């Protein structure tokens, strides 16, 4: 069951929501406002080499999330 990130439209407060059977949150859990929107989340992972050393890190640490570059200028996105 995936956990998605949402943002309250009233207060811009972010929260996570566990999706059970394809449902979405009806209201913000903090203010009970009905204006919520799902945010894009970066996928996090660590890649380990055969000796256990870290060879790469998550795409969320990069400039744009579509590559492992530290700057979007280097990948063109």
Q: Where are the domains of the chain?
A: 3-75
| Chain segment 25-42, per-residue pLDDT in tens | 889 998 999 999 999 877
Residue 67, pLDDT above cutoff 70: no
CA atoms within 13 A on the CB side of 53: 2
| Residue 21: C-alpha distances to residues 2, 4, 18, 30, 32 (Å) | 10, 13, 10, 23, 22
**Looking at residue 37, what is its pLDDT?**
92
Residue 57, pLDDT above cutoff 60: no
């Amino acid at each position: 069951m995936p956990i998605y990130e949402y943002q309250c439209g009233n207060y811009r407060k972010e929260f996570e929501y566990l999706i059970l059977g394809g449902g979405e949150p009806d209201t913000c859990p903090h203010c009970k406002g009905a204006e919520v929107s799902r945010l894009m989340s970066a996928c996090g992972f660590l890649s380990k080499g055969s000796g256990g050393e870290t060879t790469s890190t998550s795409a969320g640490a990069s400039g744009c999330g579509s590559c492992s570059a530290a700057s979007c200028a280097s990948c063109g996105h």
